[in-house]
Amino acid sequence: MNFELPSMWNLIISTIVFFIAAWYLNRYLDEQGISKCMTRGVLVFSLASLVSWGSGEVVDWTQGPQPASQTSKDLSQLLKAAGQPQP
C-alpha cells in the first residue's frame, strides 16, 4: 500500500488558500447579487475546497517525491500516536 502523508507545508498553504478562496468567492457572489442560501454555501465550499486541494498538490509537486522509507516511518509514527497496532 502506497500511502503518503501530506507535508506540513501542504497543510498550511492549503488551509490558508481555502479561506482566501472562500472569501473571494463570497465577495464575487455578493457583487453578482446572488442571495445567501444553502446552495450558495455548498458552491463556495466546493470551489474553495478544489482550489485548496490544487494548491496542496502544487506544494507537494514542488517538494518532489518523498523516499518510501520516510513515508513508512511517518505512517508508523502516526499509528503509534493514535494507539493503533503497527503493521
Neighbours of 14 (CB within 10 A): 21
Residue in 65, 32, 28 with CA at minimum distance from that of residue 48: 28
pLDDT digits (tens, 9 = 90+) for 5-33: 667 888 889 999 999 999 999 999 999 99
Predicted local confidence at residue 1, as pLDDT: 41
Contact 60, 6 (CB under 8 A): yes
pLDDT of 83 > 70? The answer is yes
- Helices 8-31, 38-63: axis angle to 10 degrees equals 140
Regarding predicted confidence, which is higher, 73 or 7? Answer: 7
Indicate the pLDDT class of residue 78, thresholds 50, 70 and 90: confident
Contact 77, 66 (CB under 8 A): no
